[in-house]
Structure 1
Amino acid sequence: MSSPSAPGATTGAATTPSSAAEDRANLRSARWGGLVGTALEQYDFVIYGTASALVFNSVFFPDLSPAVGYLGSFGAYAVGFLARPLGGLFFSRFGDRLGRKWVLVTTLYLMGIATFLIGLLPTYETIGFFAPLLLVLLRCLQGFGAGAEMAGGTVLLTEAAPPGRRGYTASLVWVGASGGTALGAVVWLAVQQLPEDAMLSYGWRLVFLSSIVVTAMAYLLRRKLQDSHVFTETAKEKAKEDAADARPSPIKDVWTNSRRNVLRVFLMVAGVSLNSYTYQVFMGSYLVSNVDVDKAVFTRALLIGAVCGMGAAVFFGRLSDRLGRRPAYTVAALGMMILPVPAFAMLNTGSPVLITIVIILGFIFAAEGSVSAQAAFLPEIFGSRYRYAGVTMGRELASMVGGAGPLVCSALITWASGSWIPVAVLMIATVAVSLAVTLRTPETRDRDLYSEADAA
């Protein structure tokens, strides 16, 4: 398909003053919708992860030993990531046909409703086994909605951005994600001011019930989003072929023609995802159960780390525009490979200052830096006809690795009688694989997004 003259393409065609003004307005709307909308939606996901590390082992798995209770809590957490690929596959069909905005608004409702209902759940003491069962079911619904969220945001912003600024623009999704983490940490810090029995009784519920306000605010921003020119132009061609029954579904299309790149994205993201959730979720439980640190220490560190992560997201997004996608990711990956051993040594001191430094560095390199370097990279790998499906399949299959990370790390700690060495080895090894695959991936900076062909 030929490349139309439109913003975001690399053809350099002229636009009229009115269309240029409209494009700038749409880009501002996309940036704010992607940043703030993702921040508010990420809030839903983050408060669950924090609850898994600090509360749910006592509320939903009270009859188990502390170690096994954490395994149950992180098992319920991981289940949501098993649902993410299913949600991603389901919504990718609509994202490549009905538009990115439609998916982003729909998934917002799914996550918001599921999170709100978790706040209403009876505990194990009230209904026994059915309490964790209902928790798992709602976690699945939350994960199903989250499965298309990050891919949708990064694809929309990558397509909407002008050449030379795609990395920065797409990284705003991760600025928003870090902002959502910070917001969740603030709410948890407020709840932790309650006495312990009050927090375990109703305090944690207030955190989840607050999601109804967050969801409403996110919707007000998301409803103003406009789909990119890349999508609208490609959709016209798709409509013609669909009418002639000439085009398969996006999922079948991407799997038939680009399964190599789906696998590539999976491997590029898997190590990043595991390291990210290890710092954001597992280390909280490790500090409480193995180092005997007060829960509020981790929550405060999470807040400071998330704020620093917002700056790191912008830095690595801009770095990917300046140096290229691969060099920017390499910097982040090397940081992730160096960090685990000194990180656990610092955590074991129990020093709030050193713990905060570890979480800050975890956000800079793992939770935000690496994913921001990949923000425009992943959409640029795929052609326009199945970009959403390709990014979603690769990313969300990899998210299963990340989501299982806290569970696997907790099991390794138990198996190793409290030693953190197997966890550090796992973190380093998975990043090494992601880096090796990235270095074998073609550089995609500023490629023509209207092209139906993959970058490689």
Structure 2
Amino acid sequence: MDTPSKSLTSEPTPPTHTEPTAADPAAVRRAAWAGLIGTALEQYDFVIYGTASALVFGELFFPNASPAVALLASFAAYAVGFAARPLGGLFFSRFGDRLGRKWILVTTLLLMGGSTFAIGVLPTYAQVGVIAPALLVLCRFLQGFGAGAEQSGGATLLTETALPGRRGRLAALVMTGAALGTVLGAVAWILAQSLSEDQLMSWGWRLVFASSLLVTVAALIIRRRLNESPVFQEFKRQHEKPKSPVSEVFRHGRKPMLLALFMNVGVSAQSYTYQVFMASYLVSTVGVDASFVPKVLMIGAACGGLGAIGFGILSDRIGRRPVYSAILTALVLLPGPSFIALNTGSPLAITVTMIVGFVLAGQGAVGVQMSYFPELFGSRYRYAGVTLGREFSSVLGGGVAPLICASLLTAFSGSWIPVAAYMTLMMVISLVAARMSPETLNRDLSVLPDATARPSAATGTSAP
């Protein structure tokens, strides 16, 4: 059927679905690898771009501006990718709930990898003038457009494929993939920075972006062998595919979508502050050698990947809501102490601070989201709901966070206090939303109503 006869969140109707059969272990392993490697590529693309924004793009694409203005221009171009993400989410999520998760993940993979490779062959400002930054922004837009349904698609596929009791740990592998992408991106920049300054600025940075082709090919081979999730296969058998998943989210799934949006907006802001803004802050304000930045990002990301799995396992044992709320409470308190530690200039203090930031904001909190957010939604528009909630919040959070932080730092004469206040305020928003959200642990993912529906509607029983 194309449209529901009744609201998915109001008056209940007797359940007509049959419980989908769990995927076999081989399918689960393929889904886990596909989610891990695909997100590794996405994060690799974003990390090498973000690091390039902090280290080389100002000189290459905005050479006529002052260093501070060039940095702001680089971060503004970086934010374009996040502005494109909800547009990509709107476009691809329509097909993800109708055609399936697998082929959308293959398509977004090719778009992301191709756009990143294209950045590596762009002419610079010295070669073609203002056309160069315009082409950079276009590639960044396409990169973000492809990423708009990437993490949400991987999380949805893994959550729907895994057995109850193991969803948290398996879906968290998506963020372990993100950590792997950060590590690979840091390694790429460490190798690039071993070149001379002239070599780095002439062709070394291009090799960093061209290397994404290797990750793209590896991820494509794995994803082409994917099975669809048991939940989606059951929907295909019952002809339950919605005609317009996005419009159904706005009609019936606004509450879980808004909860996901606000639960992620602060996490996204802090995550990309640590991953992108802190790199430029350490170099331009603290005075850390630029070669140290990729190394500390690599260490932080490696620990963050382990943290994602750890928090995913913990959420399988004691619930999504208490684990997520505890992480966010810690993140409300973290910004001030983080800047105090960073400003000491101590390599050890900086490393520990970045590890904590990555473990909690970078991968830990988002690792719990990978199972929590899909469980919030009913089965008809799960892909669309998760994608819209996460990607719109990514624009409001991570997309503009480096730009806002850099602007605050410039406006307040290098003071970190307004930046820390901004990070804390954004996290308070997410914490309040998390406290308003229901527990979803081991929820039946084949039912139509959302987790926010009345208990009678969510279980398909008659209301008293």
CA contact (8 A) 1:160 1:228 kept: yes
- Structure 2 equivalent of residue 386 of structure 1: 381
Q: CA deviation at 1:350?
A: 1.7
What letter is aligned with 2:238?
Answer: E
Say what the alpha-carbon RMSD is for the aligned residues: 1.2
3-state DSSP class of the match of 1:290? helix
CA contact (8 A) 2:88 2:147 kept: yes
- Structure 2 equivalent of residue 366 of structure 1: 361
- Structure 1 equivalent of residue 414 of structure 2: 418
Q: CA deviation at 1:259?
A: 1.3
- Structure 1 equivalent of residue 443 of structure 2: 447
CA distance in 1 between counterparts of 2:55 and 2:237 reads 50
Runs of 4+ residues deviating >2 angstroms: 5-8, 235-239
CA contact (8 A) 2:19 2:446 kept: no
Q: Is 1:288 aligned to 2:289, yes or no? A: no
CA distance in 1 between counterparts of 2:238 and 2:401 reads 41
CA distance in 1 between counterparts of 2:344 and 2:337 reads 11
- Structure 2 equivalent of residue 303 of structure 1: 298
Say which of 416, 421, 434 aligns to 1:438.
434
CA distance in 2 between counterparts of 1:359 and 1:81 reads 23
- Structure 2 equivalent of residue 132 of structure 1: 133
CA contact (8 A) 1:290 1:418 kept: yes
The one-character-per-residue Cα deviations of 1:71-127 (angstroms, maximum 9, x if unpaired) are: 000000000100000001100011001111111100010011100010001111111
CA contact (8 A) 1:166 1:376 kept: yes
- Structure 1 equivalent of residue 400 of structure 2: 404
Q: Which sections of structure 1, spanning at least 5 residues, go unmatched?
A: 9-21
What letter is aligned with 2:344?
Answer: T
Say which of 339, 342, 345 aligns to 1:344.
339
3-state DSSP class of the match of 1:45? helix
What letter is aligned with 1:2?
Answer: T
Q: CA deviation at 1:69?
A: 0.8
What letter is aligned with 1:278?
Answer: T
CA distance in 1 between counterparts of 2:237 and 2:448 reads 13
- Structure 1 equivalent of residue 323 of structure 2: 328
The one-character-per-residue Cα deviations of 1:149-170 (angstroms, maximum 9, x if unpaired) are: 0000000000001011111111
Q: Is 1:115 aligned to 2:116, yes or no? A: yes
- Structure 2 equivalent of residue 54 of structure 1: 55
CA contact (8 A) 2:303 2:358 kept: yes
- Structure 2 equivalent of residue 353 of structure 1: 348
Deviates more, 1:55-64 or 1:89-98: 55-64
The one-character-per-residue Cα deviations of 1:24-72 (angstroms, maximum 9, x if unpaired) are: 1111111111112322332122211111121111111111111111100
- Structure 1 equivalent of residue 95 of structure 2: 94
CA contact (8 A) 2:149 2:387 kept: yes
What letter is aligned with 1:357?
Answer: V
CA distance in 2 between counterparts of 1:265 and 1:38 reads 19
TM-score, normalization: structure 2? 0.92
What letter is aligned with 1:419?
Answer: S
Matches within 5 A, 1:132-211: 132-211=133-212
CA contact (8 A) 1:39 1:178 kept: yes
CA distance in 2 between counterparts of 1:201 and 1:441 reads 51
CA contact (8 A) 1:191 1:199 kept: yes
CA distance in 2 between counterparts of 1:212 and 1:442 reads 41
CA contact (8 A) 1:191 1:207 kept: yes
Matches within 5 A, 1:28-39: 28-39=29-40
CA distance in 1 between counterparts of 2:435 and 2:236 reads 33
CA distance in 1 between counterparts of 2:143 and 2:183 reads 20
What letter is aligned with 1:395?
Answer: R
3-state DSSP class of the match of 2:450? coil
What letter is aligned with 2:374?
Answer: P
What letter is aligned with 1:361?
Answer: V
Say which of 399, 423, 427 aligns to 2:423.
427
Say which of 270, 276, 292 aligns to 1:275.
270
Q: Is 1:6 aligned to 2:7, yes or no? A: no
- Structure 2 equivalent of residue 262 of structure 1: 257
What letter is aligned with 1:396?
Answer: E
CA contact (8 A) 1:276 1:367 kept: yes
- Structure 2 equivalent of residue 11 of structure 1: none
The one-character-per-residue Cα deviations of 1:248-277 (angstroms, maximum 9, x if unpaired) are: 400111111111221111101000000000
Query: Structure 2 vs 1, CA of residues 429 and 306 (structure 1 numbering), >3 Å: closer, same or farther?
Result: same
- Structure 2 equivalent of residue 14 of structure 1: none
3-state DSSP class of the match of 2:446? coil
CA distance in 2 between counterparts of 1:234 and 1:438 reads 30
Q: CA deviation at 1:289?
A: 1.1
3-state DSSP class of the match of 1:361? helix
CA distance in 2 between counterparts of 1:289 and 1:7 reads 55
3-state DSSP class of the match of 2:401? helix
CA distance in 1 between counterparts of 2:412 and 2:154 reads 40
Q: CA deviation at 1:235?
A: 2.7
CA distance in 2 between counterparts of 1:101 and 1:372 reads 21
CA contact (8 A) 1:31 1:169 kept: yes
Q: Is 1:79 aligned to 2:74, yes or no? A: no
Identity %: 57
- Structure 1 equivalent of residue 65 of structure 2: 64
CA distance in 2 between counterparts of 1:152 and 1:274 reads 21
**Count, aligned residues:** 437
CA distance in 2 between counterparts of 1:387 and 1:38 reads 19
The one-character-per-residue Cα deviations of 1:170-228 (angstroms, maximum 9, x if unpaired) are: 10100111011101101110000111222111111100011111111111111111111
TM-score, normalization: structure 1? 0.94
CA contact (8 A) 2:39 2:174 kept: yes
CA distance in 2 between counterparts of 1:149 and 1:238 reads 25
Query: Structure 2 vs 1, CA of residues 267 and 174 (structure 1 numbering), >3 Å: closer, same or farther?
Result: same
- Structure 1 equivalent of residue 459 of structure 2: none
CA distance in 1 between counterparts of 2:420 and 2:236 reads 46
CA distance in 2 between counterparts of 1:437 and 1:309 reads 23
3-state DSSP class of the match of 1:212? helix
What letter is aligned with 2:73?
Answer: G
CA contact (8 A) 1:7 1:160 kept: no
CA contact (8 A) 1:413 1:419 kept: yes
